[in-house]
Structure 1
């Protein structure tokens, strides 16, 4: 559609125009702290308010657009995005730290979301009729300006799974990416935004607290979709209460994996467990963060998972041999490092394994070999915390009731997994676990990206269904005679 696109580094998008700002910050490669990947704009409060103005004005016309037009525009944007995937894979690796394989999968999933959500829109959006002595039509309409605030750990898919259904439902959006990983998001969204009227998609970057305060207090913002820490989510809830904004949140997690006595612990199963722990260096909200294994299989699992960790190749994700990249940023690296130090000092057994791809440049990045922790109790910090790194504590259990109590002993309830050859046991345990989703003999994501289930308790608000979040960004209303 467009021959060239502006370089978005250090800029923001407001009302269809890419703006340069006075203040910027460097985006650093976590695998090479001396490498500057690009810049991120530090938007002023005035620019954020201007973005809201732009979205509110654009909503007047976009909200009345035909759903077939919305779907057609989205499919066209997806087709063009497919042509720039390869050139953006290395950009995502350099600013985020993922391996090449992980980065490419993330980018391809963005287009899957676009095409899948466009199809869901055509099938779901419409009028339902209820006849209970009175003809009642259940109709749908867009909610208004939507703010999408996303984190650094899985920036692409977590942004697209909110922005795309919001726009398709007829809303206008203000996107706020994380400051230390915004570049690939902006590279992709500059193309998507070009297929829609000015003001439908706006992007602001900078202080999360400052921008969040403005968004949360503006009555024109009707929906906030936030992915991030539980504490920040609570802060947004408090500040948005004055205007009763609709909140959709995916927050922290401390996912348990329960391995029963009859579990199959062959090579493939161990690989699935390993990936459930170490995907994106463990920096995934829904990663396995604690493993409970029946005492009769405890030594076997610890040995086999340790052997699997020993084969993990850690280094700069741009290298094809790397299977796990670095921690994304200094603050997270420091947190995980100090957590492991405290755990070791408490008397726990910390076994670190894996291969340093390039020992000579190891200290130039936020690299960390994966660790298995044993000899800990349920109340240990390493068990109760959301480690968000390549670390896994393993604890034994004796009975089903015992392990369900241990698994549910957390403020979080995002995901969980049950490892057993008995489907009845898996189903019974799933019913008793306090989690937004439970997997059987795996710990992963849903293959159908239209499905997702944010967690229970302090892990999130709202539910997604097969309609790919469309219902979260639309209001239903009744029309009766």
Structure 2
């Protein structure tokens, strides 16, 4: 089967029509930056306004379709998309940098989102009667045009987790994919969009300063779903405030892992720690970014985690033997290297681990070996910052009280994890940790795709969902006698 991605290269989608952009820029392969994988169109202000207009016009009829019809169309789209997943795994690796295993999992989970959301819609959409002397029903209705602003680190899954429930709930969408890796998202959304009426799904790639700002300020856009940095999230809030839009945002994280005195540090636990730190080369909002370990287990943890990091094979993700790919872009590569360099100059010890798959091509990509940082303090930059790379600082604590205090000493509150064999300690510690979700003896994602728990503090807006996120894209209203 011939790959469809050249069809979307350098183009944007408005009202069912793919249009060649006047200005484009290359999408680089982070494992070989001289290779241009494709082109991303830089949408003009006029194109973005046209996309919003298209979505606004389509909403009037799409919002009145029956939930059963929307669900059936989404299942049809999922069935059309699934057969081309395999052929697009390599495209995803080449523009993003993930390994083959990571990329395929991301794509397949996107298909799962489509099926689960379609199934959840039919049950969730039913009116809910409230108890009392008056007959009162809670009913749902779509909000209108939804802007989905996607990240570059996990663009497929995080885009689909917003586009799919928005469309199923009866909204229309305008998607701004990340300029660093838009091709796989656009290729897959091309298939999905073909199953829906023109204007239901529109795609306008380009810069945040043009596309993002217009979407956030246009009064016809009623909801903004954004995944990205906290600073960008704050900018979106300011820009959107003039029209009081509904915001659904997953922002930055600086997740702590608390390893208590009685924690099991067997091979399985160390592997879970490594995965929690280095998944997607550490470019995950909810990755472990700080480890606090009881002082009696500090040396043991550093030794075991170093040994585990040495097993990591860093190379081009397209090679099946690579277990960690490169960072996605030059900006992130320079940022993480700068953090490590400044930490070392400040007196920290840097333990560099991992195996270099191909020394001859190492300098041609944004490759980094994983690093463990010791000899740092709570106030150190590398502890305070969201590193978003394959690096982890490890600090000691002496008591449970100190561990909780150190973990909460941050503006972030996305995820946290507790590592202990004392089951009675888990809930008490979790209640005190300022995080949207807490894991026990693990630091991972929710296996059930319909669950989500956005962060606290500066890590996000909106709360937990049990319905694939459908509730984020609707308004509820009361119908009473």
Per the normalisation by structure 1, the TM-score is 0.99
Instruction: Tell me the CA shift for residue 464 of structure 1.
Output: 3.2
**Cα contact 2:71–2:168 (8 A) shared by 1:** yes
Deviations 1:369-389 (A, max 9, x none): 000000000000010000000
Residue 112 of structure 2 aligns to a residue whose secondary structure is helix
Instruction: Name structure 1 gaps, 5 residues minimum.
Output: none
**Cα contact 1:5–1:190 (8 A) shared by 2:** no
Query: Partner residue of 1:75?
Result: 75
**Cα contact 1:10–1:21 (8 A) shared by 2:** yes
The whole-number CA distance in structure 1 between the counterparts of 2:464 and 2:25 is: 35
Task: Decide whether aligned partners of structure 1 residues 379 and 4 sit closer, same or farther in structure 2, where only a CA change above 3 A counts.
Answer: closer
Query: Partner residue of 2:342?
Result: 342
Residue 7 of structure 2 aligns to a residue whose secondary structure is coil
- Within-5 A mapping of 1:165-244: 165-244=165-244
Corresponding position: 1:95 with 2:95: yes
Instruction: Tell me the CA shift for residue 4 of structure 1.
Output: 7.7
**Cα contact 2:224–2:247 (8 A) shared by 1:** yes
RMSD of aligned residue pairs (Cα, Å)? 1.2
Per the normalisation by structure 2, the TM-score is 0.99
- Within-5 A mapping of 1:37-436: 37-436=37-436
**Cα contact 2:6–2:38 (8 A) shared by 1:** no
- Within-5 A mapping of 1:440-479: 440-479=440-479
**Cα contact 1:464–1:472 (8 A) shared by 2:** no
The whole-number CA distance in structure 2 between the counterparts of 1:4 and 1:429 is: 50
The whole-number CA distance in structure 2 between the counterparts of 1:4 and 1:408 is: 47
The whole-number CA distance in structure 1 between the counterparts of 2:56 and 2:153 is: 30
Instruction: Tell me the CA shift for residue 209 of structure 1.
Output: 1.8
Instruction: Name structure 2 gaps, 5 residues minimum.
Output: none
**Cα contact 1:312–1:355 (8 A) shared by 2:** yes
The whole-number CA distance in structure 2 between the counterparts of 1:368 and 1:5 is: 29
**Cα contact 2:113–2:450 (8 A) shared by 1:** yes
Deviations 1:303-326 (A, max 9, x none): 000000001000000000000000
Task: Decide whether aligned partners of structure 1 residues 392 and 172 sit closer, same or farther in structure 2, where only a CA change above 3 A counts.
Answer: same
The whole-number CA distance in structure 2 between the counterparts of 1:207 and 1:396 is: 42
Moved beyond 2 Å, runs of 4+: 3-6
Q: How many residues align?
A: 480
Residue 296 of structure 2 aligns to a residue whose secondary structure is coil
The whole-number CA distance in structure 2 between the counterparts of 1:437 and 1:212 is: 29
Residue 163 of structure 1 aligns to a residue whose secondary structure is helix
Residue 56 of structure 2 aligns to a residue whose secondary structure is helix
